[in-house]
């Protein structure tokens, strides 16, 4: 069985760490590879940072137009290898092939946006700001930047950062999730074909020890993290205490409000896609669905019908609409939360627990589940489930709905379905969340916009993607300049 190698200084290298953890296909339980996991991965990390620091000396000085050239080729390589990468994502992460292709498309879009860096990095200039003085701002790279990514979007999330970091002149060290390292392993085989100087991008496998080494390394200037809130908070605190710039995106608990004036059939279909897409393992998955004034249960009925007919199975089968969750521990956690909801008085309207998929009996499957009658402060209503479960909440007015939405400790996304512009506007303005959807179920910002997030969903200031990517990966320098006439030689 293959133990994955690191990619350091432009070469594939065996890790210093001999202990490994298994990469397991969540549908079949087949062990796909072994990944280095243990204290000595810190040495691998240090070696990658050393190479990145050396590479930075010349990469950071290279004209931006030259720095973006490898990104054009990377886009082409990602497109040419999209099917193979999508299959890898489905096999190690569990999502359907259509979902895997979709996340790769989002990755490519970030490469495309970063290709615009020659224009994006341009800054401000003011002539004659006072008595013949000109003033301008330039953006310069930070140095070595580290990235730590989660399991649920193995192909996309590193691309929220990597293209912006290197196009702005930084060097970049990535530690992917140890649960799904194979996608980036393949992406780095493509990166190896680029005309990039050695050390500009590196891949180091591992877990907490690798992360801690990154957080403590004095030459790492910035950290981009995406994962659960608990770890995000830890990364932010430890990284910032060590003087680093940190952007740490955390977990979520996303509410969607549906008003009776919405198109019920279309809206409930979109809402079901939001909850059950990627088996609910999306930071923008809808979790608490709030119906307003649904006295005769029309919305509930439509949501139930939409959820019930979804097919669960192995994502490599194109007919499947929902794959397994990542591992047995996650499956157990989701079932325990549902049990807790029932203990709190909840009624399971649609029960996806103990889903048995023919031919994949060992897979981590749970089918769409809906639970209602939950107390508003209950555990399942507050906790991130990260599985295909709708908590159905019935309220009487948009004000009650907004109060509920704003009681959320997280703030990744909040959505409303309505045909009323006035209600949509009120919601957009008053909902406390970083990403708002109006008649949209997954309010994922496109690459040219920052991927926002508030409260426990984000620690830091500047988010990933778009202009925030440029700002996060550069430090500003202000130049105040005077050229007195009388100092010039006369010709
Ligand atoms: P996780 O926090 O368990 O792991 C994320 C990364 O941190 C991994 O690379 C892991 O190796 C590392 N890590 C884990 N525990 C650590 C520790 N104690 N110390 C240092 N490093 C540690 O998250 P996950 O389970 O891989 O991903 C799912 C979570 O990510 C969910 O909470 C989801 O909402 C969140 N997420 C958020 C966004 C967003 O944009 N806000 C996007 C995707 C996923």
| Tens-digit pLDDT profile for residues 396-445 | 999 999 999 999 999 999 999 999 999 999 999 999 999 999 999 999 99
Residue 454 lies in a domain: no
Would 28 be classed as within a structural domain?
Answer: yes
Asked whether residue 448 is domain-assigned, the answer is no
Residue stretches of the chain with pLDDT short of 70: none
Catalytic, 283? Answer: yes
Q: Is the domain of 196 the same as that of 259?
A: no
- Indicate if 180 and 106 belong to the same structural domain: yes
- 311 and 370 fall within a common domain: yes
Does residue 260 sit in the same domain as residue 233? no
- Do 235 and 307 reside in the same domain of the chain? no
Are 237 and 286 within one domain? no
Domain identity same for 349 and 288: yes
Q: Are residues 304 and 214 located together in one domain of the fold?
A: no
Secondary structure of residue 46 in the 3-state scheme: helix
**Structural domain containing residue 400:** 254-438
Q: Which residues of 291-327 are buried (b: 16+ CB within 10 A; e: fewer)?
A: bbbbeeeebbebbbebbeebebbbbbbeebbbbbbbb
> Is residue 237 included in any domain, yes or no?
yes
Q: Which residues contact 29 (CB under 8 A, 6 or more apart)?
A: 362, 363
Same domain, 273 and 366: yes
Answer whether residue 270 is part of any domain: yes
pTM exceeds 0.95: yes
What is the distance in A from the centroid of ligand 1 to the CA of 289? Answer: 24
* Domains: count for the chain: 2
- Residue 29, pLDDT score: 98
Residue 451 lies in a domain: no
CB 367 within 8 A of CB 355: yes
Q: What is residue 488's predicted lDDT score, i.e. its pLDDT? A: 84
246 φ, ψ to 5°? Answer: -130, 135
Whole-number pLDDT of residue 486: 85
What residue's CA is closest to ligand 1, atom 43? 283
Cα 232 to ligand 1 centroid, rounded to whole Å? 7
For the chain, helix, strand, coil in percent to 5 are 40, 20, 40
State residue 2's pLDDT score. Answer: 84
Do 431 and 471 have their domain in common? no
For residues 221 and 260, membership in a common domain is answered with no
Instruction: Give residue 487's pLDDT.
Output: 86
**pLDDT for the residue 485:** 85
145, 147, 283, 415: which one is catalytic?
283
Rounded to the nearest whole angstrom, what is the distance from the C-alpha of residue 227 to the centroid of ligand 1? 2
What pLDDT sits at residue 491? 72
Structure confidence at residue 490 (pLDDT) = 73
Q: Has residue 443 been placed in a domain?
A: no
CATH number at residue 70: 3.40.605.10
Ligand 1 pocket, residue 214 CB under 6 Å: no
For residue 481, count other CB atoms closer than 10 A to its CB: 11
Give pLDDT tens digits for 249-286.
999 999 999 999 999 999 999 999 999 999 999 999 99
Q: What would you measure as the largest C-alpha separation in the chain, in angstroms?
A: 90
363 lines ligand 1 (CB under 6 A): no
What CATH number has the domain bearing residue 297?
Answer: 3.40.309.10
Tell me, yes or no, whether 299 and 202 share the same domain: no
- Does the residue 402 lie in any domain? yes
């Amino acid at each position: 069985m293959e133990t994955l190698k690191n990619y350091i200084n432009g070469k594939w290298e065996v890790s210093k760490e001999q202990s490994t953890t298994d990469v397991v296909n969540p549908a079949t339980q087949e062990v796909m590879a072994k990944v280095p996991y243990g204290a000595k991965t810190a040495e691998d990390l240090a070696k990658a940072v050393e190479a990145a620091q050396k590479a930075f000396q010349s990469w950071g000085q290279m004209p931006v137009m030259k720095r973006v050239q490898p990104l054009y080729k990377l886009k082409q390589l990602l497109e040419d290898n999209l099917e193979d990468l999508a299959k890898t994502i489905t096999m190690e992460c569990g999502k359907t092939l259509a979902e895997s292709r979709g996340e790769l498309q989002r990755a490519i879009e970030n490469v495309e946006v970063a290709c615009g860096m020659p224009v994006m990095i341009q800054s401000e200039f003011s002539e004659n700001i006072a008595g013949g003085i000109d003033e301008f701002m330039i953006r310069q790279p930070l140095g070595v930047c580290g990235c730590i990514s989660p399991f649920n979007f193995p192909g996309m999330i590193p691309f929220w950062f990597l293209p912006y970091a290197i196009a702005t002149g930084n060097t970049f060290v990535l530690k992917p999730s140890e649960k799904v390292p194979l996608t980036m392993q393949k992406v780095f085989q493509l990166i190896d074909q680029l005309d990039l100087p050695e050390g500009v991008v590196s891949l180091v496998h591992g877990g907490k020890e690798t992360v801690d080494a990154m957080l403590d390394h004095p030459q790492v200037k910035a950290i981009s993290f995406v994962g659960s809130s608990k770890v995000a908070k830890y990364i932010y605190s430890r990284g910032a205490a060590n003087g680093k710039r940190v952007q740490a995106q955390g977990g979520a608990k996303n509410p969607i409000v549906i008003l009776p004036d919405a198109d019920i059939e279309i809206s409930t279909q979109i809402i079901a896609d939001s909850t059950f897409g990627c088996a609910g393992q999306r930071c923008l998955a809808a979790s608490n669905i709030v119906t307003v004034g649904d006295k005769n249960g029309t919305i509930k009925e439509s949501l139930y019908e939409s959820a019930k007919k979804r097919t669960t199975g192995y994502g490599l089968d194109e007919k499947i609409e929902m794959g397994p969750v990542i591992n047995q521990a996650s499956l157990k956690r989701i079932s325990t939360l549902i049990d807790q909801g029932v203990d709190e008085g909840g009624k399971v309207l649609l029960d996806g627990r103990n889903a048995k998929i023919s031919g994949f009996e060992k897979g981590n499957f749970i089918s769409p589940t809906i639970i209602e009658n939950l107390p508003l402060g209950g555990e399942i209503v507050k906790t991130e489930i990260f599985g295909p479960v709708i908590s159905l909440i019935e309220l009487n007015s948009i004000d009650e709905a907004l109060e509920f939405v704003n009681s959320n400790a997280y703030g990744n996304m909040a959505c409303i379905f309505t045909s009323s512009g006035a209600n949509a506007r009120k919601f957009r303005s008053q909902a406390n969340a970083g990403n708002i959807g109006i008649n949209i179920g997954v309010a994922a910002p496109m690459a040219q916009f920052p991927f926002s997030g508030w409260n426990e969903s984000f620690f830091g200031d500047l988010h990933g993607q778009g202009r925030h990517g440029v700002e996060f990966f550069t430090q500003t320098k202000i130049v105040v300049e005077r050229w007195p006439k009388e100092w010039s030689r006369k010709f």
